[in-house]
Structure 1
Amino acid sequence: MASSRRLDVLTSHLRKPTTDSLEVQVTSASGATLPTSYCAADSALTAAEIEHYARHGFVVKRGLVDRQSTQQYKERFRQICSGEVKLDPSALIMRDVSIARSEYVVDEKAITKVQNFQDDEVLFGYCSHPAILPYVQAIAGNDLMSMHTMLLNKPPDTGSKSSRHPLHQDLHYFPFRPADRIVCAWTALQHVDRENGCLVVHPGSHATNPLLAHGYPEWKGGVNKMYHGIPLESMPPKSEMVHLEMEEGDTVFFHPLLIHGSGMNRTDGFRKAISCHYASSHCVMVDLAPTQKIMDDEVQEIARIRLAKMGMASAKLTTHDAWRIRARLVSGEHGSLTA
């Protein structure tokens, strides 16, 4: 069912000519002020949380997602890894660069990320979770699309330090705006601390930094695919970084311009989390800035590979099309984003 729906959407976009309405260039990407129209008195966010998000670019809600749900997501991940559940072809199964260079078996120790799981109804349950949704709506509005989904399984570091995720801004990956109508929900599926590679954020960087240039860091142990980072000269002082240690079910909501990353996993176990990037369905696709060229090139490369696997090697797919295909309505109505 999901594969058929995705194929219909894909075919539709391949036939659809590009229109000027899809090429609106939004010049002000940050703003960094939480839209007051989404901060009514009955908002799920308290006045203090609204101020914290606007000032620091993130807010943490402790124990937000129930344990039954977190266990369900982990069990689904196990089923995917074992082959009991087959994902839609639009999904990406990823391995750490250090694992990819060695012999491996197909299990939870080989897969480090399941990306674009929007067509798996169990995992998509996270995106529409009744505990998550009110906070996302408070930031981005009632008409919401899931744009980017991930279940992360950070592996124990092999000594190459490849389990790190370089400091970056998520907006670097996205060809839609405005930034204030985009928000990520990231939920710990277990205890997360500095030892197993918790998130680290630079508070307020969403307000003080534009979208910075990104590239692959020069790490001796190699860098995972699409783990782009900001250059050394843009790095914030370590003393200004905050480590987000979390328990199972704790959830952080953060702005797409917030500088963040994660350290390497120094433990013997895998660190699991699940996330979804949401955007208002009234966002618009934009021409990518020169700073996003590395991302654009890789999206095109991945699209060619996915199309070939679907028997459509001769088809052409734009970056905008690639994002529209992975988008899925979460609440409210469709808008300009997937038109």
Structure 2
Amino acid sequence: KEVKVAKEDQNENTVYKLQDLFFDEVMFEYCKHPNVLPYVEAFCGPNLMAIHTMLINKPPDSGTKSSRHPLHQDLHYFPIRPVDRIVGAWTAMETINRANGCLVAIPGTHKGEHLAHDYPEWEGGVNKMYYGVKEMSGQENRVHIEMEAGDCILFHPLLIHGSGTNNTKGFRKAISCHYAAADCHYIDVKGTIQENLANEVLEVATKKFKQPFTDYAFVKLSANQPPPDLLSAGAYLTGFGVSE
């Protein structure tokens, strides 16, 4: 839920994202789309995992600019490696432009390192789990990625990107799936720059489970495995829903 509407009466207008699309047979078709998988396989190989899925319903901004998403690297949310065997597919479900908060990215940053993240100190507040890169260069080179319905981009998990404020009166919808090679492995994030996120996830998760961050992710991955009849030929698709 968006930080400024989370305390309102619960209705469809307070829903910012749907995650774990593996549970919906229709939604999961996106992850298996024949126009997407060949390009994903070029990055990850033919044996795939769908590790994170979202339908994003960016709401109209409440006037605090809290609908924007800080510049970040997706790798910060994934306790798996190697980094070059992970890729995200992000598809516009309608016209997406600067007015309703299109994606922005800094070209070339996928060749850099995984940088430290934290919550930005924004006056209007930041949505939960919306971490941003603490220190970066090259912001003057960022580009706005305007898209039409059906346009799809694929990006490396180290690419620094985010999205702008939705200054329209409507919602901005997109659907995405992150994939990884089936032979990717988990890492222990203790003592790394991912530990801050892991601690926050565990703060919520330990209300029900008392497991390490990687174990929690693994449990979600196993629990979200779709039934065999949903699997595409030659691809192993499953996943866990850590927020982007």
TM-score between both structures, scaled by the size of structure 2:
0.88
Q: Which residue of 2 aligns with 1:227?
A: 130
Distance in structure 1 (CA, Å) of the matches to 2:95 and 2:236: 36
Correspondence for 1:164? 68
> Displacement of 1:106 after TM fit?
1.4
Distance 1:112 1:130 in 2: 27
Q: Distance in 2 between matches of 1:301 and 1:127?
A: 30
Residues in 2 aligned to 1:119 and 1:325: alpha-carbon distance in whole angstroms: 15
Q: Which runs of 5+ in 2 are unaligned?
A: none
2:215 matches 1:321 = yes
- State the match for 2:201 in structure 1: 299
- Answering whether residue 155 of structure 2 is matched by residue 254 of structure 1, we say yes
Letter in 2 for 1:97: V
2:142 counterpart of 1:237: no
Higher strand share: 2
Distance of 2:87 and 2:235 partners within structure 1? 18
Larger gyration radius, structure 1 or structure 2:
1
* Number of corresponding residues: 230
C-alpha deviations, 1:59-99, integer Å up to 9, x for none? xxxxxxxxxxxxxxxxxxxxxxxxxxxxxxxxxxxx10000
Deviations 1:111-135 (A, max 9, x none): 0111222222121111111111111
Which runs of structure 2 are paired with 1:53-92 in the superposition (5 Å)? Answer: none
Report the CA distance between 1:334 and its aligned residue.
5.8
> 1:199 is matched by which residue type in structure 2?
L
Preserved contact between residue 148 and residue 326 of structure 1 (Cα < 8 Å): no
CA distance in 1, matches of 2:36, 2:200: 31
> Letter of the aligned partner of 2:219 in structure 1?
I
Counterpart amino acid of residue 64 in structure 2: S
Identity %: 53
The whole-number CA distance in structure 2 between the counterparts of 1:333 and 1:113 is 26
Residue 11 of structure 2 corresponds to residue 106 of structure 1: yes
Distance in 2 (CA, whole Å) between partners of 1:259 and 1:179 is: 14
Q: Name the counterpart of 2:168.
A: 267
Letter in 2 for 1:251: C
Q: Tell me which residue corresponds to 1:212.
A: 115
**Residue in 2 that maps onto 1:152:** 56
1:271 Cα deviation after fit: 0.3
Q: Deviations over 1:223-276 (max 9, x none)?
A: 101000012x314232x1111100001000000000000001011100000101
- Aligned AA (1:132): V
Alpha-carbon distance in 2 for matches of 1:272, 1:117: 15
Q: Residues 49 and 235 of structure 2 are in contact (CA less than 8 Å); yes or no, is this contact kept in structure 1? A: no
Contact 1:147/1:276, CA 8 A, preserved across alignment? yes
Larger relative contact order, structure 1 or 2 (CA cutoff 8 Å, min sep 6) = 2
User: What SS class does the counterpart of residue 99 from structure 1 fall into?
Assistant: coil
CA RMSD of aligned residues (A): 2.0
User: Higher helix share goes to which structure?
Assistant: 1
Query: Could you tell me how far apart the structure 2 residues matched to 1:265 and 1:241 are?
Result: 18
Task: Give the Cα separation in 2 of the matches to 1:276 and 1:134.
Answer: 14
Distance 1:334 1:122, change over 3 A: closer
